[in-house]
Amino acid sequence: VEQSIFLARHDRGRGASGEIVLFRADEYLWEQSISDWFRLVTANDDGLLIRFGEFLQAIQPTVIHVHHYLHLGMEMMQLMRVACPTAKIILTLHEYVAICFNHGQMIKPRSNQLCLRGGFEECHMCFPSYAPEDFWLRKHRLQSYLRAVDQFIAPSEFLRQRYISWGIPSEKITVIENCIRRRDIPPVRPLPEGGRRNRFGFFGQVTPFKGLEVLLGAVVTLRREEQRDLVIEINADKLEDLAGELRPRIQSVIGSLEFSGTVLWRGPYEPDHVGSRMASVDWVVVPSTWWENSPMVIQEAFACGRPVICSGIGGMAEKVRDGVDGVHVEPGNIVAWADTLRRLSTDDPAIWDQFRAAIKLPCPPTECAARHLQIANERN
């Protein structure tokens, strides 16, 4: 690679000015936004047609790798095609935003039921203020712009299949796992005499779809002495920083659990500290109630030699082998989660050793980069 230039969407709090500014050598910031979230329309036309057009003209890329259209709009795909007719355009898909208007989650608003396959009538049922025809038009618009993309990258086979059934030709989507930094494997947590593998770690953002409520709800249903047998460490934003209705709901269950030492709210962490945070737990839990794509936390857990307990659906089920390097649990089922926590926290530690031994380390960054380069260098 002769040169690579980075362009990131940016918000300086002055709205979508459309300006593209040099941040530091080879790195640019673009103040752009979306004016219509239903159809994913770029907010600032001049910023797109003039500023971004000039940006492309000046750097003349041979490969354009787009990591998202969120906050930018879908039209830029077509502009890249026209401005750089011979460039290879690659897009990495991260969730289901083009398929699903519910924040790309493919779960139904209000009921939070999992959605197996969108459709114009079904989507209208989820969002009655938009007619089925509006959903047809939304899909047609997004697919028309995505036609400019030469190759899609999906971090999971599950996500790839969702986009294929939505209409992206299968030969145009390749699976390449997200790249994570190589790190030292933290030591196994030393067990006291007769100790059990009973410390569970939750990592990441707390949103309604991440299932923290399910996990805590499961702990609440355990008997007092069962609760004393395990520890849940929550590595997430400060509780008081949680937005919306989630904070009071979580606060109401967490009070006594925190007091008794069953739940430890460890607060936010820097990417560099993932290893040390994982060092103090035996298992990593991913109780998400949506499909997920390829959660980074699963790879981080495997890179740290920690088996994963996850909801047995979507990208999670694909990445974690049930009974091999982790355990699948029915998503959102508090009783099932409680049973799993009870069982794993009282099992013979030798069973945990088997799980750990089965873990395959994630693909190293060099290999991941090589796979990306291979796609970038393939002729259109």
Partner 1 sequence: LIATDGWSVAPLAKSSEAKILPYSPAEAARLLFGVPTESSMFAERCKVIDSGILPQFIEDNELCYKGYEVLDECLGVRPSDPIVSILIRLCRRFDTLESQILEFARDEFIRRNVEVVYVIDDPDIIDDVRVLARKVHKLTNFPLRLVWNGTNGGFSLANNLAAAHSRGRLLLFLSSEVIPVSPSWLETLVGTIQSASQIGAVGARLVLPNGGLQHAGMRLSYDRDLSVWRSRHPFKGIDPSLLDQTGPFGVLALTSACILMQRRVFESIGGWDTGYLIGDFADSDLCFKLLSRGMSCYLDPRSTLIHLERDSFEDKRNKSYRQKITVYNAVRHQTKWSSLIEGLDDSSVL
Residue closer to partner 1, measured from CB, 4 or 57: 57
Is 121 near partner 1 (CB under 8 A)? yes
Q: Any idea what the Cα angle at residue 105 is, between residues 101 and 106, rounded to 5°?
A: 80
**Are 174 and 205 a contacting pair, CB within 8 Å?**
no
Scored b (16 or more CB within 10 A) or e, 5-39 reads: eebebbeeeeebbbbbeeeeeeebbbbbbbeeeee
Phi-psi region of 55 (alpha: psi -120 to 50; beta: other; left: phi over 0): alpha
Contact pattern from residue 65 through residue 84 relative to partner 1, giving x for each residue in contact according to CB under 8 A and a dash for the rest: ----------x--xx--x--
How many residues belong to the site for partner 1 (CB under 8 A)?
Answer: 21
Task: Report, in Å, the least distance between residue 15 CB and partner 1.
Answer: 18
Residue closer to partner 1, measured from CB, 134 or 258: 134
Task: Report, in Å, the least distance between residue 140 CB and partner 1.
Answer: 5
3-state secondary structure of 107: strand
* Among 145, 152, 302, 352, interactor with partner 1 by CB under 8 A: 145
Residue closer to partner 1, measured from CB, 27 or 45: 45
Task: Report, in Å, the least distance between residue 164 CB and partner 1.
Answer: 18
Identify the burial level of 69 via C-beta atoms within 10 angstroms of its C-beta, where 0-12 means exposed, 13-18 middle and 19 or more buried.
buried
Task: Determine the straight-line distance between the first and last CA of the chain, rounded to whole angstroms.
Answer: 18
Residue closer to partner 1, measured from CB, 66 or 263: 66
Residue closer to partner 1, measured from CB, 125 or 358: 125
Is 166 near partner 1 (CB under 8 A)? no
* Among 141, 199, 356, 371, interactor with partner 1 by CB under 8 A: 141
* Among 5, 131, 243, 361, interactor with partner 1 by CB under 8 A: 131
Specify the stretch interacting with partner 1 by CB under 8 A; choose among 91-99, 141-149, 209-217, 298-306. 141-149
Which residues, in sequence order, are CB contacts of 365 under 8 Å at separation 6+?
179, 180, 181, 182
What distances in angstroms separate CA 340 from CA 93, 198, 312, one per listed residue?
Answer: 32, 11, 13
In 3D space, the residue among 249, 342, 327, 247 whose CA is nearest the CA of residue 285 turns out to be 327
Is 120 near partner 1 (CB under 8 A)? yes
**Are 11 and 29 a contacting pair, CB within 8 Å?**
no
Task: Report, in Å, the least distance between residue 373 CB and partner 1.
Answer: 29
Q: Any idea what the Cα angle at residue 311 is, between residues 251 and 93, rounded to 5°?
A: 100
Residues from 26 through 55 that contact partner 1 (CB under 8 A) = 39, 45, 49, 53
Residues from 199 through 238 that contact partner 1 (CB under 8 A) = none
Task: Report, in Å, the least distance between residue 29 CB and partner 1.
Answer: 23
Q: Any idea what the Cα angle at residue 249 is, between residues 245 and 252, rounded to 5°?
A: 145
Specify the stretch interacting with partner 1 by CB under 8 A; choose among 3-11, 17-25, 117-125, 155-163. 117-125
Residue closer to partner 1, measured from CB, 49 or 368: 49
Q: Tokens 């969702």 label which residue? A: 162
Task: Report, in Å, the least distance between residue 75 CB and partner 1.
Answer: 6
The 8-class DSSP code of residue 35 comes to E
Is 147 near partner 1 (CB under 8 A)? yes
Residue closer to partner 1, measured from CB, 137 or 375: 137
In 3D space, the residue among 8, 75, 63, 10 whose CA is nearest the CA of residue 39 turns out to be 75
Count of Cβ atoms closer than 10 Å to residue 198 Cβ: 22
Residue closer to partner 1, measured from CB, 119 or 261: 119
Which residues, in sequence order, are CB contacts of 98 under 8 Å at separation 6+?
40, 74, 104, 139, 142, 143, 146, 163, 166
Residue closer to partner 1, measured from CB, 166 or 209: 166
Binding site for partner 1 (CB under 8 A): 39, 45, 49, 53, 75, 78-79, 82, 119-121, 131-133, 136-137, 140-141, 144-145, 147
